[in-house]
Amino acid sequence: MSAPIDLRWLFTKTCQDVVKKSSSPDLYDKLRMAGLLRQLLVGPRALARLVNRGPDHALEFWYREPDEADRERWESPYGFDASRRQLAVGTVRRTDLDTFLAARVIWLEQWLSVDQLLALTAHAYGGQYEVVPDGVSKEAFVAFEASVQHGAAGFVSIALQEAGGVALRGLIPLAEARPDRAESPRPSAAPPATAGAAGCPFSGALDLDRLGD
């Protein structure tokens, strides 16, 4: 009988996949990040919650959220990741996961939260047709599609990149934690959790600066 899947192994591999896609200039990879980020962050079965029972580690997400009244001054999602040296409007916050998911990240005829952006992208381009984002207007759907047509330089792609950077930095404490091997052993046939490229934050080298490049 095979050993059960180690959730920390799955969590780490998923984070590594986000790193690879974040480093890619391809729009396809940016859009596919949404489903991976939802798997990591959203809902009671999110991998971040499953590997952080208790919770054992206090997670903090560091971002710059535009205020409701910043619409006229807001230019792009650049700078949502507050760790990057990027001038942007908004208030820098350090919050828990749920507050981060509810944070405004992009204007598409209305402010969309991180959670709404991930759900909308997963619904439209990730095959998760049952995921229908709450509170998103028809006008926002149209603006979303128009932004996607601008490719990797469009605001949707940029917002996914920025939100992904915030998420990965916030999850570092879980990547650094020792796996509880006795509770959920890693399958013997599984390869070691190694990064697809040097400098992956979830293989021991916590260099996240490259994500903003």
Length of the chain in terms of residues written: 213
Per-residue pLDDT, averaged over 77-87, amounts to 88
Look at residue 68 and tell me if it is in a domain: yes
Look at residue 213 and tell me if it is in a domain: no
Look at residue 71 and tell me if it is in a domain: yes
Q: Scan for tokens 């409701």, then name that residue.
A: 68
Helices 155-176 and 7-23 sit at what angle, rounded to 10 degrees? Answer: 140
Cβ-proximal residues to 158 (8 Å cutoff; 6+ apart), any chain? 76, 77, 78
Q: Above 50 in pLDDT, residue 211?
A: no
Question: Distance between CA 43 and CA 101 in Å, rounded?
Answer: 11
The identity of residue 122, as a single letter, is A
Per-residue pLDDT, averaged over 102-116, amounts to 96
Look at residue 206 and tell me if it is in a domain: no
Q: How large a percentage of the chain has pLDDT more than 70?
A: 81
Look at residue 194 and tell me if it is in a domain: no
Look at residue 129 and tell me if it is in a domain: yes
> How many independent structural domains does the chain possess?
1
Per-residue pLDDT, averaged over 104-128, amounts to 92
Q: Per the structure block, which two tokens stand in for 73?
A: 């001054």
Q: Per the structure block, which two tokens stand in for 19?
A: 């790193």
Q: Above 80 in pLDDT, residue 196?
A: no
CB of 33 within 8 A of CB of 40? Answer: no
**pTM score, two decimals?**
0.81
Look at residue 139 and tell me if it is in a domain: yes
Full domain range(s) for residue 80 = 7-181
pLDDT-derived band of residue 203, with 50, 70 and 90 as boundaries?
A: low
Q: What is the pLDDT of residues 16-63, one digit of tens each?
A: 999 999 999 999 999 999 999 999 999 999 999 999 887 788 899 999
Per-residue pLDDT, averaged over 90-115, amounts to 95
Look at residue 39 and tell me if it is in a domain: yes
Angstrom distances, CA of residue 120 to CA of 113, 114, 131, 136: 10, 10, 8, 8
